[in-house]
Amino acid sequence: MTVSVGVIGLGRMARALVCPLIERGTLQASNVIGVVGSEASANRLASELPEGLTVVAASDPRAVEAWTAPVQLLAVKPQQLDAVAAAVDPVQTAQPPLLISVLAGVTLERLQSRFPGRACVRAVPNTPCLVGEGLCGLAWGEGVSQQQRQWVTEAFQPVSEVLELPESRLDAFLALTSSGPAYVALIAEAMADGAVAAGLPRDQAHRLAHRTLAGTAALLDQQQLHPGQLKDMVASPGGTTMAALRKLEQAGVRSALIEAVIAATEHGRALR
């Protein structure tokens, strides 16, 4: 069987990347092989993924085909990296296979030392990729050809806006965009709780909080507003919004969010 893409680890993010490529015709399902930890997982996923896509357990002899594909997507958990790498042979070919890693905190230097002979790319996608509204940062390792760069960029574009960044900026990018949905979810939950406390039904409060956040993000983006501009548009002198903003400033919400992004950045650097 000829394999174009090998996918090592088929979690939600890997599936969110591969399935749109198949739906768009960029990939043929029959040219993709996925490797997962157990036979039970392989059987379950085989029934959920596009017909023709092969899914095998890591113990299956066919798993080696994923590591001989010209494009390899590495999407296991970061703590599994060394065990996975130990089972993979180095390659020596005129055109190095392309290894795309979505592992948080795993540097290009570490990837290239664990997977010699491969051209490595670090990709940092965030969870909104699952609904086609993501962001993805890309950092290129040594030996990645222009053709391979184009393929990677086009592979992520169906689900995200793609930015090419120096690897030194990826930790801050991850802290803002990959961890950011958790910050926003916390804010959405707190806003809904406040509305419930003020008398709205919970289901309605959650929906209104989500729509308020989504609409605000769209307004900021589409009209290219600075957040301060939008805040001033909403907060009239002596009004209800100004009373609320005073409470947020007294509670240190602004400072807490700044420190959260910095803490996530520093933790990402510490994982190296």
Average pLDDT of the chain is 93
Distance CA 171, CA 208 (A): 32
Q: Do 129 and 244 reside in the same domain of the chain?
A: no
Model confidence at 125: pLDDT above 90: yes
Q: Do 182 and 149 reside in the same domain of the chain?
A: no
* Residues spanned by the domain of 224: 178-270
99 neighbors 86 (Cβ within 8 angstroms) = no
Q: Which two tokens stand for residue 159?
A: 């689900």
Q: Which residues pair with 7 in a beta bridge?
A: 34, 73
Q: 142 to each of 51, 71, 97, 216, how far by Cα in Å?
A: 35, 16, 12, 40
pTM above 0.85, yes or no: yes
Q: Do 35 and 161 reside in the same domain of the chain?
A: yes
DSSP 105: T
Q: How much is the pLDDT for 163? A: 97
Q: Do 74 and 139 reside in the same domain of the chain?
A: yes
Residue 57 CB contacts under 8 Å (≥ 6 apart), including other chains: 35, 36, 37, 38, 39, 41, 42, 63
Specify the CATH number for the domain of residue 102.
3.40.50.720
- Residue at which a domain ends, from 111, 141, 167: 167
Residue 172 lies in a domain: no
Q: Do 154 and 244 reside in the same domain of the chain?
A: no
pLDDT tens digits for 18-30?
A: 998 888 888 899 9
Domains identified in the chain, total number: 2
